[in-house]
Amino acid sequence: MNAYSDTFEIKTGGKGTYEITEQVARVVTGTVTVFVQHVSASLIIFENADRTARVDLEAYFDRLVPEGEDYFTHTLEGGDDSTSHIRMVLTRSSEVVPIADGRMLLGTWQGIFLFEHRSSAHVRSIVVTVMGD
C-alpha cells in the first residue's frame, strides 16, 4: 500500500465554480482525497455536463447566504466575509473519491469543482492525497 501527496494552485476570477476533476492512476485500489487550504472557498462534487446546473447552484447560494446581513459582525474584509465562510461550511473542505482499477470511480455526471466564495480573484491551493494498493 502506498500514499502520495501533491499540491497545485488554481486561479479564480471571483465567485463561481471551477472544475478540477483529474484522473489519478498511481494506485489500483484506494481513495483520492482532495482538500482546499482556505476558509472562503470550498469543494463540491457536482453535475459537470450542463452549465445551467451550476448557474442555478450559484443563484441559490446567493439567496441562501446573502452578503452583508444586518447581524453580521465579521465584516473586516467586506460584505462577502462571513458569507464566504458560511458558504464554505455548507459545502466542504475535502472530497474523497474511490479508486478501482487505477481510475477514480466518479459517476457519469460527477465532476469535482472548486467553489469560490469571494467576489475578487484569488489563487487557491489544493492538496491531492492518493492512498491504496
Q: How far is the CB of 14 from a copy of itself (least distance, A)?
A: 19
Nearest to 68 by CA among 55, 60, 59, 77: 77
Distance CA 125, CA 93 (A): 12
Residues 38, 114, 116, 117: which binds a copy of itself (CB under 8 A)? 38
119 lies in the binding site for a copy of itself (CB under 8 A): no
Neighbour-count burial of 10, counting CB atoms closer than 10 A to its CB (0-12 exposed, 13-18 middle, 19+ buried): middle
Whether 46 contacts 113, CB under 8 Å? yes
- Give the binding-site size for a copy of itself (rule: CB under 8 A): 65
The residues binding a copy of itself (CB under 8 A) are 1-5, 7, 27, 29-31, 33, 35-39, 44-47, 50, 52-53, 55-57, 59-60, 64-65, 69, 71-74, 76, 81-82, 85-86, 88-100, 105-110, 125, 127, 129, 131-133
